[in-house]
Structure 1
């Protein structure tokens, strides 16, 4: 594989970061991705305690390889317990995004941690560089989970590479060696990959959720705020989420104001999550979900990205 800032900084075999998918990637998946030669991360859910972060960090660190943790800035504003646990754990990389992330950059860097921020526009990337982050993640709207839906990965990546001087990783729609080769050829230092790992046994997805992922095509996702509004989560409104389209989303998309005061719908979603009913409950996934056809261990997914090397040599 080509050597990049990402591989050199973290001593990786493959220039791939396993995206911090809150509620899907915990310490087990992070450890498996890192052990396979990429950089594994786990995402911290909004309601996670500091002790949960510490427990998962210990699991991730057991691989003996560098790993990372993903934080949501809008959560840290009201409770520093997650941040304090991360500072104690001292992972190699921390991404802090979605909200006012600037106050957390220097405390993390003083602890010797590389700091990343996910940017959905070129202006966000510039702001991240001004705030002192070490690396910007240019996240296109086709990516799964939360973020902006204003610019696709390739247009965003091209703009961001010209706009900032810090290293740039590409996120959104990268699920195979072809996708990784494309963003490396454009100038990214690596791929920030989430959806490709949804089919791995090391995730926390239930069997019914996994079946939904494996059955989905590239057109089966939808972007919006329905699931956040129904749960009364405090996500800033500019950051919706991309998930597998289902009946609950179709019923409430465009009716978010009404949904925000409908307690029956809130209870319906909570019950569906408990019962594994994914006609109502959600599975966050990006447009690359159609490329996941069968379950594979995380190590196999990481290994599949090594094919980017041959593609880059072929077209050099």
Structure 2
């Protein structure tokens, strides 16, 4: 039987965890912040489906954050979040997020000189919950001690900037370290099988990125969505090449990106890339705008192998829950004999 329905939820509340209780969401699924690939439409669609939609705001100035938050709130009354990458966030961006008061402030990749306790406290003072993503157990312990409400354990399976351990390893390690603080698993999760597996490893839910890129609501170029659909999961590489090209400094991070022509051109030639950055960066950014899959830096995870079609974000959430519930209710219990 379905658990009793909460007000405003019109579907069965089938998987109840510490994360769903804390955030007052229906399903233990959060959509990753993913920078410019997120849109108000995507965030609202995930939240309206019972998950937690999160807007990537690191590329937006304060005025844009206010405007985008207004659009999101006009499209959903359910909880949603805003993500900032702390190492590059300025005071105006942080203040804008605090001013619009999303349900959640999602953070990641701080500098060593940043005071996580003060950042998290400023959110809590406004009734905002804090989700903080970490690549190591030590970072998880530090964030939990600083007052994060939920820790996101990020594995190397994911796309974009990632940690150093596989998701199936980092998740139980972090869950044990920070208990009873809820943990979300991130990296390589694209369906209900992944959700069920992460719950078994001690997570209270999942943070999903690549699967939500391949939705009509995502602002990712259609050519890159097709690239992900066509991927067998082995066509990415873990490197710092994109950061070297863009001249960005991510503290202790590497990134998983598509291994395409522009990446092959510069692998092993990073000193030359630094010298020719003024030439390489505009060409790459134009390729991103044009949807050139060979000359653009494209971020996605190994879960691309599990994605076969563009699917509305709400259907992604519903299908993940249906599949996970079936595994938890039927397949796994059938493996245990009396």
TM-score of the aligned structures, taking structure 2 as reference length: 0.88
RMSD: 1.5
Kindly report which structure 2 residues correspond to 1:217-296, keeping only aligned pairs within 5 A, or say none.
217-236=232-251, 238-262=252-276, 263-296=278-311
**Contact 1:224/1:242, CA 8 A, preserved across alignment:** yes
Which of 325, 331, 337 is residue 309 of structure 1 equivalent to?
A: 325
1:205 maps to which residue? 220
Matched, 1:162 2:155: no
For 2:271 and 2:119, locate their aligned partners in 1 and report how far apart those are by CA, in whole Å: 32
1:69 partnered with 2:82: yes
Distance 1:124 1:209 in 2: 32
1: CA distance, partners of 2:231 / 2:124: 40
Q: 1:146-183 CA deviation, whole Å, 9 max, x = no partner? A: 122x1000111111111112111111111110000011
- Which residue in the other structure is 1:56 paired with? 68
State the TM-score, normalizing by the size of structure 1.
Answer: 0.94
User: How many pairs are equivalent?
Assistant: 311
Paired residues of 1:137 and 1:171 also in contact (CA < 8 A): yes
Conservation of the 8 A alpha-carbon contact between 1:229 and 1:259: yes
Contact 1:225 1:256 in 2 (8 A): no
Does the 8 Å contact 2:58/2:83 carry over to 1? no
Where in structure 2 are there 5+ consecutive unaligned residues?
1-13, 334-338
Which residue of 171, 181, 184 maps to 2:199?
A: 184
Query: Which of these two proteins has the greater Rg computed from alpha carbons?
Result: 2
Poorly superposed stretches of 4+, deviation over 3 Å: none
- Tell me if structure 2 keeps the 8 A contact 1:185–1:312: no
2-side partners of 1:2 and 1:274: how far apart?
A: 39
Contact 1:27-1:58 within 8 A present in 2 as well:
no
Equivalent in 92, 96, 109 of residue 81 of structure 1: 92
